[in-house]
Each structure stands twice: as structure tokens, then as C-alpha cells.
Amino acid sequence: MFNPIDVNTTALIAERQRMNTIADNLANVNTTRNADGKSSPFQRRFVTFASSEIEGAPAGTAGVTYQVNVDTSTPPRRVYQPGHPDADKEGYVSYPNIDFMTEFVNAMDASRAYQANLVAIDMDKQIDNLSLKILA
């Protein structure tokens, strides 16, 4: 009876992680050092989704899993700032190659997917209520 809610809950968790990852990207748009304090620009993260079986659910019931990946293929954005402490010998500073517009669109998409899953859970609860009323 609760399988659809379980499936949508896994999707909600995955979309929440996607939103957190986007927020992390935007918060680090000007980060030029790593956690150790060495000059290394932040690398954009992104979330990928996959389906997997839900523990404790009937066989064949799949939910959503996610994995946070680091974009290592995109080169950093180089800006000429010779006075910056992280500038190289040529005066360029390497910043993360994070595009505000792309991240904003991704955040809107994740928000809409989250809302759609909430609506699906609400509809399932209404169907369950009507089913119980019919049986009672």
C-alpha cells in the first residue's frame, strides 16, 4: 500500500541532494583554494540518478539513487589579476568554471521535480483514503 510513497520519497531525497550540490557550486564560484589551503580552483559537482531496488519492498519495486560526481573535464576559468595571491607567474588566477545561468536552470528543474514528487505523494495518499472509505 505504501510502495508509491516509498518510491517518491527516494526521488525527493535525490532531488534534495541535487539542490544541495547546486547550492554548493554557487557558494564556491570564487573559491581558488582547496581544503588544504593550496591554490586549486573548486571543481563543479553534479548529481546523476539511477534506479535501484528498494529494501523491504516487493521484488521489482525500484526507487531513485544518486551519486555526486566531480566535473574534472571542464578547465578552470582564467582571469588576469596579477595582484591576486593565487595568481600564477603570468598573472592569471584560475577560478571554477561555474556558469550561474546553468546552475540557476538546474536549480529550477530540481525544484520542479521535487514539487512533482510531492504532488504524486499527495495524490497517492488521496487514493489510499478513498480506497479505505470504499472498504469501510
Nine-digit cell at 53? 531496488
Find, among 28, 5, 25, the residue nearest to 17 by Cα: 25
Confidence of residue 109 (pLDDT cuts 50, 70, 90): very high
Specify the pTM.
0.86
Segment 45-58 shows an average pLDDT of 86
Q: What is the pLDDT of residue 55?
A: 77
CA 44 – CA 72 distance, rounded (Å): 8
The 3-state secondary structure of the chain, one letter per residue: CCHHHHHHHHHHHHHHHHHHHHHHHHHCCCCCECCCCCECCCCCEEEEEEEEECCCCCCCCEEEEEEEEECCCCCCEEEECCCCCCCCCCCEEEECCCCHHHHHHHHHHHHHHHHHHHHHHHHHHHHHHHHHHHHC
Q: What is the pLDDT of residue 2?
A: 56
The Cα diameter of the chain in Å comes to: 78
Segment 42-69 shows an average pLDDT of 88
Segment 45-57 shows an average pLDDT of 87
pLDDT digits (tens, 9 = 90+) for 15-50: 999 999 999 999 999 999 988 989 899 999 999 999
pLDDT digits (tens, 9 = 90+) for 119-130: 999 999 999 889
Q: Which residues contact 27 (CB under 8 A, 6 or more apart)?
A: none
pLDDT digits (tens, 9 = 90+) for 74-98: 999 999 999 999 999 999 999 999 9
Residue 61 confidence (pLDDT) above 90: no
Q: What is the pLDDT of residue 81?
A: 95
With vertex at residue 115, the alpha carbon angle to CA 112 and CA 116, rounded to the nearest 5 degrees, is 85
